[in-house]
Chains A and B, each alone.
Chain A
């Protein structure tokens, strides 16, 4: 998990975003275009559920 480590604050503005920070935003926020246009059977929401489940799983495993 070291690749997920935070950068020191001093470097925050030039360093690439940490994956965890990025996923907080890409999975938890943003305009949601759910509905019939999505190609998946149950639409974007299903994708979101899966992603959230993935993150929860990673978190739970890590917490052990």
Chain B
């Protein structure tokens, strides 16, 4: 028999028995919920041939494996978040068995309760800001240009570029501040590399905001207004997300 373990997706406010029965999780396993003292946890059984220490280390180096598991994890978390307050756990949280998972949850006690309370009725929106690509500088007029003129022009172009970059960064900070005011909480992720985004423009802001369900439209409008106010930026809104970025046991 293959050794098995329990994979944990999220801490939840308990659901009625069988509420997630139709759901399949990682590697097609049936999703279950376990519960103790009014705190639930969404879990499924995984094989140690996939999630054992050595096997996991190898699998994590496979981008296709990583993407599949990330999407399977996300699908389960999203399904749970449709039904109840859901605090996602970090990917690849694995316990020996259900009893070990429950024991760990019990140990966390009131801290899990506090997280769920913070997330009740709220969703996450992502907002990214990119610097709009500037038009290429106008080529010099044809004809001879002295070396000094050339250097002077290059220096001026460089100064203008730096000023534009600084202004765009300031505007991105202003966008973050304005949206933090519109939301319950905000958090900044690291800006994504342009090779990973596939977008040529540099990313200046990669933020997430915790927003009341009922304020979703107001938040969207605020993003649109900021996009109009700062034409040097291109804003991109993603979501709604389960509140991944705000499911911390130790909120700052």
A12-B238, A39-B53 are contacts. A1–B195 as well, Cβ < 8 Å?
A: yes
CB distance from A13 to the nearest CB of B (A): 7
Alpha-carbon distance A39/B251, docked complex (angstroms): 27
B93 touches A38 (CB 8 A): yes
B56 touches A47 (CB 8 A): yes
B132 at the interface (CB under 8 A from A): no
Alpha-carbon distance A37/B97, docked complex (angstroms): 9
Alpha-carbon distance A54/B196, docked complex (angstroms): 13
State the interface size on chain A (CB cutoff 8 A).
Answer: 42
Q: Mark B173-198, 1 if CB is under 8 A from A, else 0.
A: 00000000000000101101101111
Q: Mark B212-229, 1 if CB is under 8 A from A, else 0.
A: 000000000000000000
When distances are taken between beta carbons in the complex, the residues of chain A under 8 Å from B195 are 1, 59, 62-63
B70 touches A22 (CB 8 A): yes
B100 touches A37 (CB 8 A): yes
Alpha-carbon distance A22/B73, docked complex (angstroms): 10
B88 at the interface (CB under 8 A from A): yes
Q: Mark B32-76, 1 if CB is under 8 A from A, else 0.
A: 000000000000000010011100110011010011001101100
A24, A28, A44: the one within 8 Å of B93 (CB): A44
A5 touches B198 (CB 8 A): yes
Alpha-carbon distance A63/B103, docked complex (angstroms): 44
> Which of B90, B105, B112, B208 has the most chain A CB atoms closer than 10 A to its own CB?
B90
When distances are taken between beta carbons in the complex, the residues of chain B under 8 Å from A35 are 104
B85 at the interface (CB under 8 A from A): no
Alpha-carbon distance A38/B5, docked complex (angstroms): 9
A30 touches B96 (CB 8 A): no
When distances are taken between beta carbons in the complex, the residues of chain A under 8 Å from B187 are 29
A40 touches B94 (CB 8 A): yes
CB distance from B192 to the nearest CB of A (A): 5
Query: Can you name the residue of chain B whose Cβ is closest to the Cβ of A60?
Result: B193
A38 touches B88 (CB 8 A): no
B196 touches A4 (CB 8 A): yes
What would 6 A/B residue contacts be, using CB atoms closer than 8 Å? A26-B91, A30-B91, A39-B94, A39-B96, A40-B52, A40-B53
